[in-house]
Homo-oligomer: A and B are copies of this chain.
């Protein structure tokens, strides 16, 4: 049996793949050379997971890697291009981002309830202006996305005394932690009761554009919207209008239709809109964690064991029933 070839679509910094020494041949590609190198690769590690290069090189000529791993939770940059390649298994970074993103979202919720940005802006102006803020306990949140990250966000909000309505692609009548899981079809009625609407859904053709003028119109004027899913979930112009017309009170976006967000985007200075550069899950050591997760799965690959975190290419995410890693 010939040596396994692991092709890495590079990004800075490079992954630490010392554990593969003597076990696989590691070959590096960039966006320009990727297409030509794919036929010789058994495994593709999409280290530059924000790149569209894999989708653009697919299906292409010649054999394809049998395993493609993306060190991200979302697989929307691989699908639907790879959906029909029945020989190729896609795995993702399920689990790594759960706690960091849950903390980030809770931080945003508290920051908005306590108006930290307003306070720090007053600090910049050396102005002492006492205001009343809001309690988070006793409020209600709709969390859209019932995968591990959405569940962890929900769990974290529950711990603060928030009532959580969890929304998934399909309803589940009973859920040990959340009572039940609501179907996406219930979203329009749920958001009308929510103080916090959090989007952490996988991006699919069904979820794209789900937060549009109609959805924002159903929210309460006191509601805040948080997106840590994908920029394409939101019709950005509609969100801007909703904020400018005070149809909702505030929003925080960590993801955008175009990333990096261009310097001339109108989003940067919309009142009530908090912008962060797609970093909600990226806590110190995250790249090491992502490497370890890939390498652990490589151990399974080498032994012929079933891979963990296999994406259902029709659904666009790892179904909950699939065994996932225990953090």
Residues of A at the B interface (CB closer than 8 Å) are 99-100, 103-104, 106-108, 110-111, 113-114, 116-117, 119-120, 122-124, 126-137, 156, 159-161, 259-261, 263-265, 268-269, 274-279, 282-284, 286
Contacts and interface: CB of A to CB of B under 8 A. Distances in A.
Contact of A284 (B128, B133, B263, B268): B133
A130 B278 contact: yes
A103 B137 contact: yes
Given A103-B113, A103-B114, A107-B116, 13 more contacts: A99-B135, A103-B135, A120-B120, A123-B269, A123-B275, A126-B265, A127-B263, A128-B261, A128-B263, A132-B279, A132-B284, A134-B283, A156-B160
Shortest Cβ-Cβ A-B pairs, 5 listed: A107-B110, A128-B260, A159-B159, A135-B283, A128-B277
Contact of A120 (B106, B117, B259): B117
Contact of A133 (B110, B117, B137, B279): B279
Contacts of A265: 126
A277 B129 contact: yes
A123 to B, nearest CB: 5
Given A126-B263, A135-B103, A277-B129, A116 B113 contact: no
Contact of A111 (B111, B124, B161): B111
A263 B123 CA distance: 10
A268 to B, nearest CB: 5
A284 B115 CA distance: 13
A15 to B, nearest CB: 15
